[in-house]
Structure 1
Amino acid sequence: MDFDGRRPVRTTFRLLAPGKWRLAAATLAFAVKDSPIWLLPLLTANIIDVVVQHRPVAQLWLNAAVLAVILLQNIPMHMLWVRQMSLIVRHLGTDLRSDLAGRLQQLSIAFHTKAGASLLQTKLVRDVENVEMMLQQVAASGTSAILTLLGALTLTALRVPQFVPLFLLVVPCTAGLVAMVRRRSGARNEEFRRRVEELSARVDEMAHLMPITRAHALEQEAVHRMRGTVEEVRAAGLRLDMVNGRFGAMSWVTYQLLGAACLVAAGWAAWSGFAPVSAGDVVLLSTYFAVLTSSVIGLFGLAPIITKGLESIRSIGEVLSAPDLELNEGKQRVATVRGAIALEGVGYRYPDSPAPALAGIDLTVAEGETVAFVGPSGSGKSTMLNLLIGFIRPSEGRVLLDGEDMERIDLRSYRKFVSVVPQEPVLFDGTIWDNVTYGLAGQTEETVTRALRDANALEFVEDLPHGWDTVVGERGALLSGGQRQRLAIARALVRDPRVLLLDEATSALDSESEALVQEALTRLMRGRTTFVVAHRLATIRGADRIAVLAGGRLAELGTHEQLLAAGGLFARLHGLQSV
């Protein structure tokens, strides 16, 4: 999608371009169904003149028949317009959300970490809803106001052309007021959007911290933190409302004064003979101006909605135009992976970080070997895993997969042979079957049963009321920590990976659960290239080699026994945990 958030008006027209013929049909249907608004004053004037001037009664019945027809046609034409506009707006909203979801899958992990889930959720839900609302409101109120303006001016020019200049005063007044409100309201809308995004992030944080908050009796502190953000939203919303209200009042007074002037002018013209104005014409002119005033006020009232919608397009553009992409297109796809990995002079520095997270790492891992990474907090263990899975690219040096530089590989094809078991298993609100086979359609019952058995999960799954059709709840909330972790291992087993990454997979478990999970992990690791990050050094005794990181550098490398015998950093860490 050609989406430029910096030019929201142009982008809006581009979004509507694919449905231009449907939009034309909807506009035509609206013009027909809305015709009573600007035809009724004319028919009313005709009927008044028939009565006042004692014209033939047949003219009365003719105007009544026309009146009935234009009123009855409103039902079918209105439904036609609703259907066409609904298809346009709903399709556009669906396309925007789909494009946002697709772009989020392409953006780097660093972007997601910086943006946060709640902020992206706001863009995907609230901002797209604002764009839909803008289009719906403009299609209804905006089209009605424009058609009423054109209809009133045309019929006035045909019947009493002397009053056209007075009617045209509405246009510059509207343009001036809309320009003023857009300039002032635009800044206030952007401020309000930022505050709402901050509130969304704060709500997400509060939900995640709820167990800690309750455990430490910090409810009042949490409320105080939330109240500060809510107050900022209130203040920003109040400033926005005051801007909109001020200009709304100015527009209403301006148009009422113009309406009163039109009525007095029409009455004076009829009384003085300045223009051939009949009694019906006086009603027609005053009614037209009242309708015109109402329509223009409605059009003016759209300014905040349009400004809000355009600001949401800018917000959506922050994602759709974000440059922080994981670039895979056109790179070599791998059909098989053996699992031999080598790091040659690898270093990585996070943006705006004064020191590198990793520097000068040289490490060769054979196919099927298990390597554990240990070290103090901040030594670079998590950064190492992110490099091995390709979430980040080396700032210097290179990572080789089966002898091929990963910089030249389509990482999506590589990751089909990779499984990750994190410290906090990631489950979604679906069945156990759906979670275990996530992304792998067509798995047989035999395959899933074997994976659950090897993950030490089959027994507890069979004890559940609906077996593997049991819904686990949001983030697996209906299961224990050990059960969630064993399902994560079963998910990895189903994928039959060649490269396995374990990120402190047992650190959050009790002793009994840890024993079951460790046994399942041993089965999972067999015959696969495995990288393990662990704080509990006892859990990596069976690793082929242990890489000890310190300050982003490889300080020691060897087996468990070799490193203990060396008496270096690993031995000191082991001694601290043995106390």
Structure 2
Amino acid sequence: MTSPQEPMDHRYRGEHPVRTLLYLFRDERVALVLAVLVFVVKHSPTWLLPLVTANIIDVVVQHGPITDLWINVGVILVILLVNPPLHLLYVRWLHGAVRRTGSRLRWALCGRMQQLSIGYHARMSASVLQAKVIRDVETIEQMIVQTVDGGLGSLTVLIGGLVIIGVSAPAFLPVFLVVVPAAAYLVARLRARMRTRNESFRREVELLSSRVHEMTSLIPITRAHALESDALRRVDGSLRQVLDSGLRLDRINGRFASLAWVLLNILGVVTLAAAALVVYYDVLPLTPGDVVMLSSFLTILTGSTTALMSLTPVITKGLESVRSVGEVLQAPDLENNAGKAQVTRVEGAFEFRSVGFRYEGSDASAVRDFTLTVSPGETIAFVGASGAGKSTVLNLLIGFLRPTSGRILLDGTDMETLDLRSYRRFLSVVPQESILFQGTIRENVTYGLPQVSEEKLLAALRDANALEFIERMPDGLDTVVGERGARLSGGQKQRLAIARALIRDPRVLILDEATSALDTASEALVQQALARLVRGRTTFVVAHRLSTIKGADRIVVMRHGGIEEVGSHEDLLARAGAYTSLQAHQLA
């Protein structure tokens, strides 16, 4: 299986999607060829049956040798009996090839997402990326299976049927080459009108779905203001539209089915009558069996041609999904670490030299002329109004963003020359909202650390003030936290995030509004845990509540992306400047 470390190199967007599909299935060529060969054999009864039927009729009508009858019956029985094992082989080879390719493609997408920059992920919706990994790959898989099942089946029937007609009744071959495509075109036109009606009905159902979702989400407001009847009236309108559209669609479906059936049967009767007249007047040397065969083949070949035409929407949708996947696999916005120096040790000294950063498409700089020197083990707090540039500075420290001007030095080395993935092994982040996954407490705290002793885990949880609530849980460390930690309170989730940071023993620590969303009791426990966490580490803190950063070595007051003041809590209060104004505003 191709892993994220083995990229699927190809010009997904630059090439035609069919060429890209051939590239994606390059490792499955043998399986696909075997699947096609097996399919042709197992599907042969569909186009051989009219010929066998014709031979049997001729034996009966012309009183031919009875052995000919048994030979024809035997041939068709053998082909029918070998169908099940051949079908299993076909499914094994085709579906196996498709599933393996889909899995490799998902691997490649997930690997690429890990390589793309945080800026890319900030611009791209997570649900869109999820849809590309799940839905687009599934659409590609379905397109391949449906195209091979339907398309190959129709092609073998068309080719086999036309060859048999060309050999048995060559005079009728031109008739079939004209009549069959014409009949298929008429049926396809009828289906196209049906598709428009079906899309209209689907939109009505989607509108009803949104109305019902809206109604359920507004139930507390509706009940609180006694607006139940108004809510029902809004839904009732959509219900009536869906009912009317559904009834119209059913009537059109009925007309379509009837017209298509009548059309194909009229053509069959006309072909049967024409062949019968040819035999009756000895115009051509045809047998009664040939007449039945020609009539049967008209229906079979018309259905096969129609089936081929109906695959167009499936193929179009699948090829569009190939392009959609290519948007991720060839997204240029990568975090470039190739060839850069590995970080094997971090002391924790940072130096910002006239650092500036401007987001793409923005006229103003988010950070400008930012100059600051930080010693190892120092705690630096960033404060300021919303939009002052605090979070941008943190993202520059983590390496999610690269300065557009100036330099950031880590222990005297320009971070632009470092492999930031290796640097982040010495870094821990405690965000405003801790991110937990569907798993146990143990799995969440030790995430990414396969070998962690029980003693080290318990020590980290104890220092994070988390043991007190874990011990009350029936399953203890093996308690499942739920999706995004839904079974835990905000304070409990935040203490687990601190334990996750503690267990990694980082040299650099970043706290981004780590207590702003907590109540007073939870904040006190988290602050105690944070006090243990920052000890001996270079720490950068963004805080909304100024009361939580009084103990910082230095506080950096930011405004419009630049530094307005720097100093300790007491120094800044003594200056009676911007920091004092911020504190007075909070106290007010």
Change (3 A) 1:288 1:383: same
Would the aligned equivalents of 2:13 and 2:327 in 1 still touch at CA under 8 Å? no
- Verify the 8 A CA contact 1:456 1:520 in the aligned structure 2: yes
SS in 1 for 2:129: helix
What does the per-residue CA deviation read over 1:173-224, in whole Å, with 9 as the maximum and x for residues that have no partner?
A: 6998999999999999999999999999999999999999999999999999
Is 1:60 the equivalent of 2:69?
yes
Q: Is 1:32–2:7 an aligned residue pair?
A: no
Q: Aligned partners of 1:162 and 1:524: how far apart in 2?
A: 91
Change in 2 beyond 3 A, CA 1:275/1:330: farther
Q: Secondary structure at the match of 1:111?
A: helix
Contact 2:187 2:260 in 1 (8 A): no
- What is the correspondence of 1:80-95 to structure 2 with a 5 Å cutoff? 80-95=89-104
In structure 1, the residue matched to 2:158 is: 149
Corresponding position of 1:340: 349
- Of 535, 560, 566, 1:526 maps to 535
Which aligned pairs between 1:377-416 and structure 2 lie closer than 5 A?
Answer: 377-416=386-425
Amino acid at match of 1:530: T
Aligned-partner Cα distance in 1 for 2:566–2:521: 31
**In 2, Cα distance between equivalents of 1:435 and 1:199:** 40
> Counterpart in 1 of 2:463?
454
Determine the C-alpha separation between the residues in 1 that align with 2:93 and 2:216: 41
Question: More displaced, 218-227 or 302-311?
Answer: 218-227
Find the aligned partners of 2:399 and 2:205 in 1 and give their Cα distance.
33
Contact 2:431 2:513 in 1 (8 A): yes
> What percentage of residue pairs aligned between the two structures are identical?
58
Unpaired segments ≥5 residues, structure 2: 1-7, 240-249
CA positional deviation for 1:421: 0.2
Secondary structure of 1:333 counterpart: coil
Shift of 1:511: 1.2
Distance 1:217 1:404 in 2: 66
Task: Provide the C-alpha distance between the structure 2 equivalents of 1:387 and 1:199, rounded to a whole number of angstroms.
Answer: 46
Letter in 1 for 2:56: I
**Alpha carbons of structure 1 residues 121 and 49: separation in structure 2 relative to 1, 3 Å:** same
After the TM superposition, which of the residue ranges 115-124 and 551-560 deviates more from structure 2? 115-124
Structure-2 separation of matches of 1:408 and 1:200:
53
TM-score by length of 1: 0.88
Q: Which amino acid aligns with 2:422?
A: S
In the TM superposition, what are the counterparts of 1:536-547 in structure 2 within 5 Å?
A: 536-547=545-556
Structure 1 residues 431 and 202: alpha-carbon distance in aligned structure 2, compared to 1, 3 A threshold:
farther
Matched with 1:166 is: 175
Shift of 1:251: 9.0
Work out the CA distance in 2 between the residues paired with 1:352 and 1:194.
35
Q: What is residue 324 of structure 1 aligned with on the other side?
A: 333
Find the aligned partners of 1:493 and 1:214 in 2 and give their Cα distance.
47
- d(CA) in 1 for partners of 2:570, 2:162: 94
Q: CA deviation at 1:226?
A: 12
Match of 1:349 in 2: 358
Rounded to whole Å, the distance in 1 between the matches of 2:369 and 2:193 is 54
> Once the two structures are superposed, what CA deviation does each residue of 1:250-280 show, in whole Å capped at 9, x if it has no partner?
9989866765554343233223323211110
Structure 1 stretch 322-331 or stretch 355-364: which is displaced more?
Answer: 322-331
The CA distance in 2 between the partners of 1:322 and 1:29, in whole Å, is 39
Aligned residue number for residue 291 of structure 1: 300
Q: TM-score, normalised by structure 2?
A: 0.87
Provide the C-alpha distance between the structure 2 equivalents of 1:112 and 1:248, rounded to a whole number of angstroms.
49
Paired with 1:391 and 1:191, the residues of 2 have a C-alpha distance of 45
Q: Deviations over 1:312-358 (max 9, x none)?
A: 21222221221121122222211111111111111111122121111
After superposition, residues 264-275 of structure 1 pair within 5 angstroms as 264-275=273-284
Map 1:104-503 onto structure 2 (within 5 A). Answer: 104-169=113-178, 259=268, 262-503=271-512
Distance apart, 1:53 and its partner CA:
0.6
CA contact 2:350–2:375 (8 Å) conserved in 1: yes
Counterpart secondary structure, 2:382: strand
Gaps spanning 5+ residues in structure 1: where? 231-240
How many positions carry a matched residue from both structures?
574
- Contact 1:369-1:529 at 8 Å conserved across structures: yes
Does the CA-based 8 Å contact 1:166-1:262 persist in structure 2?
A: no
